Amino acid sequence: MKSCFPNPQDPSSNPLSPNPIITVAAATTFSSLPDDLLLECLSRVPSSSLPSISHVCRRWSLLLHSPSFLYLRRLNHFIHPTIFTLSAPLVASLRLQNGNDANTIGPLWKVASCLPFPLASLDSFSHARLSVIGPRIYIIGRNEMFCYDVWSGIITSRCSMIFPRKKFATAVLSGKIYVAGGGSRAGAALEEYDPDTDTWRVVSNALRRRYGCIGAAVDGVFYVTGGLNIGGALGNEITRAATAGTEAYMYASSMDLFDVEARAWLRSRVVPGGGCVVAACAVAGYVYILASHAVELSFWSFDARRHGGGGGSNGSGFGKWCRIKSPPLPAQVRLDSTVRFSCVGVENKMVLIQVRGCIDDLLRRSGRSVRGLKEGLVLIYDCISGEWSRGPDLPEVIRRGACVTVEC
């Protein structure tokens, strides 16, 4: 019988060998990478390409707005604090130079027309308030709110406040937006907005009902500063008339402090020397306040470091006021309602931006002929050196805008 197996002693026969196994390597794409590797790659993409990347797929869009992406961008020095000034339908951005910038050319404003959403409901950007969470600017109007993503350029409508407000205080703490003041219909309600659920809720009642107030946030405390008294005090007409002046003074030069974690109001503070608060913001653990008096301006810092600041390990300097060098404006100038400043913090600098009015006209009305201080004046205060410098003027096409600082 003939065997089907080869004869090992027959040199003419070829031993059987197994068929070679052919493996085809699967093509590796960005989409097949795990999230951590994909984040490493996306975090190194130039900022100019981020709007395109956010439209690739839902997964990439979610990664771009994750805390890990922001952390990696900051770690790789791709994040730069940038000032945005919104004045529909335009937006202007300004990036201040730092020691790591190789470019020796001074900073310049960049203007773009990228606010394609209905603005009829927003009375004016000068009356709206801006809050920032990550790369998103929340534009809070009287009856509507929008979210502008500076990375993708997308604008979406968000849930409006429970109570309509105008000229109110706002600040961001622990990823949530807090608002207070701004109208009699709102009463004393302090509202909190959760961007994850797109909902507002009332979390407390303010100590004072303010209108035209300014907000700031440091170390878990929401500061509601300045403004006018609305609603009037209780009592008869004679009592109200007698106390109206005192109450207006106390409101304009004071600030209320709300601890968002404890849900409790702390002791209110008053600006030394009084005056009317016209601008305020938080920078590096301090609240900086510009106050207008009868014939001059004063500039103050309030130590708001409660945890491990203020010269001690337990925040022993919390609550200390310090008068610092006033901005380089003409002497004996009193700001009125025709001139308005916006104040924003950029790392260790405080930037004062004139968003409305003309100082030249203000001086002309008082009989003085100083020139060169028109609209759009930008002044920069270095909190470390204690010196002022003049920045690039706001573009003429941007007027009555609202300002905010974004890491992008």
- DSSP of 251-313: HHTEEEEEETTTTEEEEEEE-TT--EEEEEEEETTEEEEEEE-SS-EEEEEEE---SS-TTST
Residue 351 pLDDT: 94
Give residue 102's pLDDT: 46
DSSP 145: E
Task: Name, of 10-14, 132-136, 216-220, 402-406, the range with top average pLDDT.
Answer: 216-220
Where does the pLDDT of residue 79 fall: very low under 50, low under 70, confident under 90, or very high at 90 and above?
confident
pTM over 0.85: no
- Residues contacting residue 340 through CB under 8 Å, at least 6 positions apart: 126, 278, 354, 355, 356, 357
| The pair of three-digit structure tokens given for residue 129, joined into one six-digit string | 């308030």
Average pLDDT, the chain: 79
Task: Write out the two tokens for 257.
Answer: 């402090």
pLDDT in tens, 138-161: 999 888 899 988 888 788 899 999
CA-wise closest residue to 357 among 394, 314, 310, 307:
394
Exposure string of 5-22, with b = 16+ CB inside 10 Å and e = fewer, is eeeeeeeeeeeeeeeeee
Look at residue 26 in the predicted model and tell me its pLDDT: 58
pLDDT confidence of residue 357: 67
Confidence band of 126 (pLDDT split at 50, 70, 90) = low
User: How does pLDDT run across 315-343, given as a tens digit for each residue?
Assistant: 567 889 999 998 887 655 556 566 788 89
